[in-house]
Amino acid sequence: MKSTHSTKSTLAMLAVLAGSVGVLAGCRGDRSDAPPRQFFPNMDDGPKWKPQTGSTFFADKRTMRPAPANAVAFGRTSAVSDDPWNKPWAEQRVALLREGEAEYSGTNGVNADGTPRYIDRIPIEVTPDLIKLGQTKFNVFCATCHGYDGLGKGMVGQAWSYGLPNFHDAKYKDAAQYTGKDGYIFHVARYGVITQGQQKMPGYAHALNEKQAWAVVAYFRTLQESRAVPIGDGAIPESERPALEEKMRQAASATAPAAAPASAPAAPAASTPTNTQGGGK
């Protein structure tokens, strides 16, 4: 008797369970255009804007708010910690603050006509290490076009539609002209050359921070100096001379035969006379 009763009630309970599971499961995967049921709607509909979308709230309709003028983002750095882990952040902070226009832009105000007044000399201490750093960076980022020697005949430079400037030209040494100022070379290294609205040379600010760009300038000057030193005036140690003279002989004989047939193929011959920007001697 008792067992029949309990069997019945167990069956009934199972049926109710199965029914409710069926009802619940039936909702899953269904598609409906009806608005969802909101039992506690307070936090469902909080205002939210996605970056780069429009806003009706702000007068300028921009969702992303422009940072206040001169705001500096500090990220996670603590300005005071000397711990090694903090070094990159601390350096970044100094760079972001940009105290000292000359060091960070290569300029010192503007001229009467509104053009930037480039500074004459590198504003940071020039050490052998800085020049070495500059050499590394120059050989990575500049030599492809300008050549390791700065003559403008790098792999890409040779294929350029016009002749690239020669860094040993007087205009890049004469500090009375803007092209001869350290600040200008720094500026070109970071922002490239824009002529009549056209980006002629790409800028390398993404790859060269300020210190590295000054290092490139220091090496640029070293390259120029190295060409101006006569081999026999004592600046080159006696022990280095034979090897250097041998290299020069090799370089001379490597270019000599190439120069003769070059009149037939167009590449090297065409690039030189069409030089409009390079400012030949």
Query: Which positions lie near ligand HEC, rule CB under 6 A?
Result: 141-142, 144-146, 156, 160, 164-165, 179, 185, 188-189, 193, 195, 200-202, 204, 216, 277
SS percent in the chain: helix, strand, coil, step 5: 50, 5, 45
At residue 98, what is the residue type?
A: R
Cβ 95 to ligand HEC shortest distance, Å? 18
Both tokens assigned to 74: 């500090």
The single-letter code of the amino acid at 11 is L
Q: What's the min distance (Å) between Cβ of 255 and ligand HEC?
A: 22
Query: Which is closer to ligand HEC, CB of 102 or CB of 221?
Result: 221
Name the residue number minimizing CB distance to ligand HEC: 142
**DSSP assigned state of 179:** G
CA distances from 125 to 140, 171, 182, 218 (A): 23, 24, 13, 10
Closest approach of ligand HEC to the CB of residue 73, in Å: 26
Q: What are phi and psi of 199, to 5 degrees?
A: -80, 105
Of the two residues 77 and 218, which places its CB atom closer to ligand HEC in the complex?
A: 218
Q: Given the complex with ligand HEC, which of 102 and 201 has the nearer CB atom?
A: 201
- Nearest alpha-carbon partner for 49 in 69, 65, 66: 65
N-to-C CA span, the chain: 119
For ligand HEC, which is the closer residue by CB, 121 or 249?
121
Q: Which is nearer to ligand HEC, 86 or 224 (CB)?
A: 224
The minimum distance between CB 154 and ligand HEC, in angstroms, equals 8
Q: Which residues pair with 201 in a beta bridge?
A: 193
